[in-house]
Structure 1
Amino acid sequence: MKFAITLRLDCATDRSLHEFRAQLSASASIHDSYSTHVTLAAFDAEVQPGDLWRGLEDFAARWSRIPITLSGLGIFPGVRPVVWAAPAANYILIKMQRELCKLLDGINVYDAFNENCWIPHVTLFTKISNFSEAIESASLKWRPIHGFLEKFDLISFPPVEVKHSMLLKM
């Protein structure tokens, strides 16, 4: 089964990102019903979600919600490029992801989530009909967004299904 561990953005920030996406809907879209988030780790594992969550629950309980500023845009190039919101440097987020990698030692976490490769981001678009138009429009309309990462989730995919979730401390 494929799993991911994510941090969901607060409702106001999620709404701001959806409004930004709506401005560009003619040239780009995303087919993901799951809330906006930062993925901390993704992996294949033959374990029951409840067994996995037992190890993660204590980890999640130690953390408070994390302030985040989505300061710019980035692109993962490829046949199907991905446009994403880039968070400003955030020591707490990096520390959390590195500690999570240590906790998941022994689980084959995808290379992109290795602590030396991970790029924190919030995916904005995965389906882009006119790439140059979408990028031009996005770059002209983008403004920094301030918010919080406030919910720690264990999800399975595809399709996305939240298996366990915990609100981080205020």
Structure 2
Amino acid sequence: MIYPIVAYGDPVLRKVAVDIDKSFDVKKLAEDMFETMYNAKGVGLAAPQIGLNIRMFVVDGRPFNEGEDMEERDKDPSLVDFKKVFINAEILEEDGDDWGFEEGCLSIPDIREDVYRPEFVTIRYFDEDWVEHTEEYEGLAARIIQHEYDHIDGILFTDHLNPIKKRMLKNKLAKITKGRVDVDYKMKFPK
């Protein structure tokens, strides 16, 4: 099932999400979230982005390593087989130098800006079979995790921008909130 993506301005995107109980059908939801993410051509999707205030996100960074003209040496090794479900995740440590990368968000279409994040992240989480993992990631994998983790803490990538950049984006963000945006996937706008 493909869910509509919740647009910037919806209060659910600003809430700190709650832990999921083990009785919840996370496998079906994960399947639907991947389908929704692929339909919107994303590499990560957090439950708040489909209107659910729960601590769950899915990632698949493999598209960053694909492309006919991509050389093997240009591929990010952190993204090999990087398709995962994160439930009740907790970032234990962020380390290394902050590095910039142009980020976007399915809930904030047509806006892309450089965001600086630490190069390493250690995270504890459950997968869709309720198996607990503690793992360290680097590179683009770490960035995707940090971006999606922000969503379950009520933080958007635009929150990481300096005040001048934020002011410059104010009109574009207001248009998104009002539904004045052209995307090729279903969206749900604040009422």
The reply to whether TM is greater than 0.5 is no
Structure with larger RCO (C-alpha < 8 A, sep 6+): 1
Query: TM-score normalised by the shorter chain: which range applies?
Result: under 0.3
Normalised to the residue count of structure 1, the TM-score between the two structures is 0.24
Normalised to the residue count of structure 2, the TM-score between the two structures is 0.22
